[in-house]
């Protein structure tokens, strides 16, 4: 959640930055109205509290002078003031709850160095890494390769569930597992502690990281339970520290985890309908870091470097892209996407997003640390390292041979 005090004190400037992220201006104006409604209530409460305190002192004075009747008279007045304060505080609390509900739907403020733009067409390429492969034969897309090799069974995936579910068979199943193990080992060597987390979380967890209430339509919910299937390991990893004050916070907390991810893909109808690029269930290895504010930029660069080096170790050409304001995610203050080369599409496709969320999630989740005697909000960061299914797609297409077989990168041999 954004800092409401900052929004109130610098409303017009923050509003301009939020509008770059396509925020509904009406929503911000509604929040401004709440700010204006709060002021007279707070002032009335403060004035009444000051009057109550002053009268309470008078009661003591009259009691010492044994003017009991006068003291009792003022006591009655104080009781009436207390009732009035309680009534105003209840009104203010109701107002605050409405304001909080509105605030939960306001996205994070983009960093000032995020490029301004309306859509992915305005994203800024930072650099390309690796050589794009060339082929002296007609290449096939991964879904044709997968069917021909009896690796991917799309029809039975639909039979078992529905469209956008796929059965992995034979070497595809083994390669998926090999990639997960390789990614976890790679990240662990980079200093990320491996964690295994639940694949379902409660409403508080989803709210803390920003999936709720804004994106409920994209989540799979367990009927009659306060549980949701996770859309990414970012959710349980970040929530490990929800409602906590972290002790001995000398170094950033760096974690990596494998989980399946579940997304309804609402609004994605007609996109990537063939193959396994966009699925309702997919595997992902995630990076999550919790840092002090002054360390988050450095850790952000480390996470981007880790994901990029992982792709390079697999021999996959990719590029780094700085997302513009209009393409930035709800919780992110800044995001760098890594896009891997997909030969059949003759283009780069997203395989990782690394985001610095600043204190946006920490404020919602109440994740703090001791800075001297003061409690401060941490910064949280997250990134894919990597989306496993899309990595499998990239390997199949980039390492395909003329006879339709797939060469396996040497770094994966020991896992197979």
Task: Read off the pLDDT band of 42 (50, 70, 90).
Answer: very high
The CATH fold of domain 120-415:
BirA Bifunctional Protein; domain 2 (3.30.930)
**Mean pLDDT of the 107-135 span:** 97
Confidence check: pLDDT of 271 > 90: no
- Strand pairing category for 379-387 and 347-356: antiparallel
For residue 398, count CB atoms less than 10 angstroms from its CB and return exposed for 0-12, middle for 13-18, buried for 19 or more. buried
Task: Read off the pLDDT band of 111 (50, 70, 90).
Answer: very high
State the pLDDT at residue 269: 65
> pLDDT above 90 covers what percent of the chain?
94
Task: Tell me the C-alpha distance between 156 and 135, whole Å.
Answer: 32
Confidence check: pLDDT of 69 > 90: no
DSSP type of residue 227:
-
* DSSP code per residue over 127-159: EEESPPP--SS----HHHHHHHTT-EEHHHHHH
* DSSP code per residue over 45-112: HHHHHHHHHHHHHHHHHHHHTT-HHHHHHHHHHHHHHHHHHHHHHHHHHHHHHHHHHHHTTSPPPPPT
The structure's pTM equals 0.93
Catalytic residues: 263, 278, 350, 353, 390
Q: In the chain, which residues fall in CATH 1.10.287?
A: 4-103
Confidence check: pLDDT of 273 > 90: no
**CATH number 3.40.50 is the correct assignment for the domain at 4-103:** no
State the pLDDT at residue 60: 85
Task: Read off the pLDDT band of 66 (50, 70, 90).
Answer: confident
Please give the structure tokens belonging to residue 291.
């840092």
DSSP type of residue 398:
H
Residues whose CB falls within 8 Å of the CB of residue 152, separated by 6 or more in sequence, listed in order: 142, 143, 146, 166, 167, 168, 169, 172, 276
* DSSP code per residue over 259-299: EEEE---TT-TTSS-SSSSS-SEEEEEEEEEEE-GGGHHHH
Q: Which of 218, 314, 304, 198 is nearest to 264 (CA)?
A: 218
* 165-175 pLDDT, tens digit each: 999 999 999 99
State the pLDDT at residue 62: 84
* 44-65 pLDDT, tens digit each: 999 999 999 999 899 888 888 8
* 221-232 pLDDT, tens digit each: 999 999 999 999
Secondary structure (3-state) at 386: strand
State the pLDDT at residue 265: 83
Q: In the chain, which residues fall in CATH 3.30.930.10?
A: 120-415
């Amino acid at each position: 959640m954004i800092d409401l005090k900052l929004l109130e004190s610098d409303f017009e400037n923050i509003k301009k930055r939020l509008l770059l992220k396509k925020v509904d201006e009406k929503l911000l104006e509604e929040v401004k109205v709440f700010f204006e409604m709060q002021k007279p209530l707070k002032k009335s409460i403060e004035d009444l509290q000051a009057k109550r305190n002053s009268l309470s002192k008078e009661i003591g004075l009259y009691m010492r002078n044994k003017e009991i009747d006068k003291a009792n008279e003022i006591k009655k007045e104080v009781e009436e003031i207390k009732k009035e304060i309680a009534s105003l505080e209840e009104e203010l609390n109701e107002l605050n709850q409405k304001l909080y509900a509105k605030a939960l739907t306001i996205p994070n403020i983009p960093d000032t160095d995020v490029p301004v733009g309306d859509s992915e067409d305005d994203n800024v390429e930072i650099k390309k890494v690796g050589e794009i492969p060339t082929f002296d034969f007609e290449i096939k897309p991964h879904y044709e390769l997968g069917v021909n090799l009896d690796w991917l069974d799309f029809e039975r995936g639909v039979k078992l569930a529905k469209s956008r579910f796929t059965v992995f068979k034979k070497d595809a199943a083994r390669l998926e597992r090999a990639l997960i193990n390789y990614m976890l080992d790679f990240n662990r060597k980079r200093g990320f502690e491996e964690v295994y987390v639940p694949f379902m979380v409660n409403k508080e967890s989803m709210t803390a990281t920003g999936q709720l209430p804004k994106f409920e339509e994209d989540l799979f919910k367990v009927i009659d339970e306060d549980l949701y299937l996770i859309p990414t390991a970012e959710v349980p990893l970040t929530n490990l520290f929800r409602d906590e004050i972290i002790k001995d916070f000398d170094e950033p907390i760096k974690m990596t985890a494998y989980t399946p991810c579940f997304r309804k893909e609402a609004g994605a109808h007609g996109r990537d309908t063939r193959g396994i690029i966009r699925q309702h269930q997919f595997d992902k290895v995630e990076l999550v870091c919790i840092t002090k504010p002054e360390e988050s930029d450095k850790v952000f660069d480390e996470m981007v470097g880790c994901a990029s080096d992982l792709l390079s170790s697999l021999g996959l050409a990719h590029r780094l892209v700085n997302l513009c304001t209009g393409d930035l995610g709800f919780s992110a203050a800044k995001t760098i996407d890594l896009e891997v080369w997909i030969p059949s599409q003759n283009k780069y496709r997203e395989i990782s997003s690394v985001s610095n969320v600043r204190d946006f999630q920490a404020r919602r989740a109440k994740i703090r640390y001791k800075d001297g005697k003061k409690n401060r909000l941490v910064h949280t960061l997250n990134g894919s390292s990597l989306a496993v299914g899309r990595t499998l797609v990239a390997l199949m297409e980039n390492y395909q041979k003329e006879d339709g077989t797939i060469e396996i990168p040497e770094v994966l041999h020991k896992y197979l």
